Structure 1
């Protein structure tokens, strides 16, 4: 069983401004309503691991599988038998950037869990680009 979701927004902020927020895991709770806190060991680079505390106090370990500075990162979150791959991509446009988040969930119950997990993505994207625009 699997679930997939994709959301895209445009912004006047540059890819660098968006990347600054993405690579600062301590700020994730400021723009993502599903995140309370993120702790990561080491730098924001491939292989770095940490723990996300989600709204409601659920802790979920994650690993950065792909990190392409100012362009893309893919994190893998594991919760029991469920595996979440969340792919974040920012591309330059003539007027700023296009920001896309793709969520893929696999494992038993993925179809049921998916809408709950991805439900906050539009809010998170809008808050992210607002913060990036304020910081640009």
Structure 2
């Protein structure tokens, strides 16, 4: 398995960050650099999601874990390689700690991970900062 994660803390409550994360994954929110999401059903475990990264082809993912205000995870399979993306929200003093994690698993993960993983997760810090900006904007104007 190959893993990378990025953690940051926002002064916002978990609910505010969750609202932005949910809006993004439901396709109701987009911003510069964000993937575009199209849900094929409710925002719930088991629902398929079409994901289109900026400048790339669309791929299919499935929501595999969802606990409101706590965690969201979707998984994509490319042959025998699985990519699991997870956001975890933890209330901490003064706000919410958010971790965005990528796990690449499968028989070829040791070969594929070191090359593909950094390409996918290299912008987690920028993505997280933009998610926090959107969460604040939604909280102030939503």
TM-score when normalising by structure 2: 0.85
Q: Please report how far the alpha carbon of residue 72 of structure 1 lies from its aligned counterpart in structure 2 after TM superposition.
A: 0.5
The aligned runs of 1:1-136 (5 Å cut-off) are 2-24=1-23, 25=25, 26-27=27-28, 29-30=30-31, 33=33, 35=35, 37-107=36-106, 108=108, 109-136=112-139
Q: Residues 81-105 of structure 1: CA distance to partner in whole angstroms, max 9, x if unpaired? A: 4311111111112211111111101
Q: Please report how far the alpha carbon of residue 34 of structure 1 lies from its aligned counterpart in structure 2 after TM superposition.
A: 5.3
Cα distance between partner residues in 2 of 1:47 and 1:30: 26
Q: How many residues align?
A: 133
TM-score when normalising by structure 1: 0.88
Q: Please report how far the alpha carbon of residue 23 of structure 1 lies from its aligned counterpart in structure 2 after TM superposition.
A: 1.3
Out of 74-83 and 57-66, give the one that drifted further.
74-83
Q: What's the Cα RMSD here?
A: 1.7
Q: Which runs of no fewer than 5 residues in structure 1 stay unpaired?
A: none
Q: Which runs of no fewer than 5 residues in structure 2 stay unpaired?
A: none
Q: Please report how far the alpha carbon of residue 28 of structure 1 lies from its aligned counterpart in structure 2 after TM superposition.
A: 5.6
Aligned to 1:62, the other structure's residue is in SS state: strand
Cα distance between partner residues in 2 of 1:135 and 1:49: 25
Cα distance between partner residues in 1 of 2:30 and 2:82: 21
Q: Which structure: greater strand fraction?
A: 1
Structure 1 residues 122 and 28, CA gap change in structure 2 (3 angstroms) = farther
